[in-house]
Amino acid sequence: MNLANRKSRLAGFSLAEIVVALTISSMVMITVLTIYRRAQSSAFAATNRIEENTMVNEVLQRIAEDLDTILGGRFDATIKIDNKTQDGYSAGRLEIEKKIFNNDGEEEVFRRIVWQSYTNFETEAGGLILYRAHSGMTVEDKLLQRGHQRWELERFIPICDGVTYFSVEVVRDENLIDRWEADSLPPAIKISLSFAEPEPEGNELVVPEDQIASRTIAVDRTRKIRFDFTGLDIDPDADPNDIEGADPNEIEDTDIVETEQQTDNDR
């Protein structure tokens, strides 16, 4: 019996040794999984950040292109802007419309584009969905939109979700206006967009300013630009076609000395 017990002990492990080995293996496995999850979370956050920045730039560029397309030309164009709060998020709406006169002398919508953010009912994810609608006499895809009635073409297409801040403001005299319904075009429009996580503040969700991307787009093409002219001391007897003359961009030593003397006198 003693010889058989010795052989069984030499052939395998005891229960205590197996428990210790399983415990150590479990600890190693938990540590490895924790490191993997942290690395995966960091990689996902970095990738998500890059995708958000790319999406923000693409959306702002698309809005700028819509404004440039409709406002160009000799047709009458109008802009309507509205901002409000939905589910605590800042939501905006931009409507751009261009009209022309038909053969009967009646106004008809040539092109109409609407950008607006709305509550996300489709998923449980936070934030808003940004939509874009296009309608009018001109269509973007003649093949897919062939055979549809005009009222059927104005469909709001979701562009992106998870939007936590979207506002459209008019820039006038260094002031921001959150509503515009005038027949005249505003001087410029400021578009602001963000996917960053907001912070609760009362009944609203506030997104940090450093997490909001903005782009200001000039609208009024007939605005007056002020120029400041600087006079130059030109010798009236000098020949402007004389290429052997002195370079007007060359600074002479006498000018530097006179400037230094004037500075000393001012002191």
3-state DSSP helix/strand/coil percent for the chain, to nearest 5? Answer: 35, 30, 35
Q: Mean per-residue pLDDT for 60-85?
A: 84
The predicted structure's pLDDT at residue 83: 95
CA distance 20 to 174: 72
Percent of the chain past pLDDT 70, that is, above it, reads 64
User: Of the ranges 16-30, 32-46, 171-185, 245-259, which one carries the lowest mean pLDDT score?
Assistant: 245-259
Under the banding of pLDDT at 50, 70 and 90, the label for residue 192 is: very high
CA distance 193 to 162: 11
What are the tens digits of pLDDT across the range 31-66?
A: 888 887 887 776 666 566 666 678 888 999 999 999
The predicted structure's pLDDT at residue 257: 47
User: Of the ranges 17-21, 54-58, 208-212, 241-245, which one carries the lowest mean pLDDT score?
Assistant: 241-245
The predicted structure's pLDDT at residue 16: 81
Domain locations in the chain? Answer: 48-218
Is a pLDDT exceeding 80 seen at residue 168?
yes
Give me 248's structure tokens.
């007007």
